[in-house]
């Protein structure tokens, strides 16, 4: 496991963490067998196409 060579100050750590922001998941259009198109996150595309997950 890699270790830092110099300790990072608490102020620098908190300043870095305060800039972090989550991003919304990209939605991808999936065409259902009945002809309807639904938008789902990329991670669920295969499951929706195979019928394991039913979108609302």
- Residue 42 in this model has a pLDDT that exceeds 90: yes
Instruction: Give the Cα-Cα-Cα angle 52, 55, 56 (nearest 5 degrees).
Output: 140
- Residue 3 in this model has a pLDDT that exceeds 80: yes
Q: pTM higher than 0.85 for the full model?
A: no
- Residue 8 in this model has a pLDDT that exceeds 80: yes
Contacts of 54 (CB under 8 A, 6+ apart): 48
In this prediction, residue 1 carries a pLDDT of 76
Name the DSSP class of 33.
T
In this prediction, residue 2 carries a pLDDT of 83
Q: How far is CA 32 from CA 29, 38, 43, 51, in A?
A: 10, 7, 17, 9
């Amino acid at each position: 496991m890699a270790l830092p060579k110099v300790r990072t100050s608490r102020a620098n750590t908190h300043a870095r963490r305060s800039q972090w922001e989550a991003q919304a998941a990209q939605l991808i259009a999936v065409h259902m067998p009945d002809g309807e198109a639904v938008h789902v996150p990329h991670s669920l595309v295969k499951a929706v196409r195979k019928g394991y997950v039913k979108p609302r």
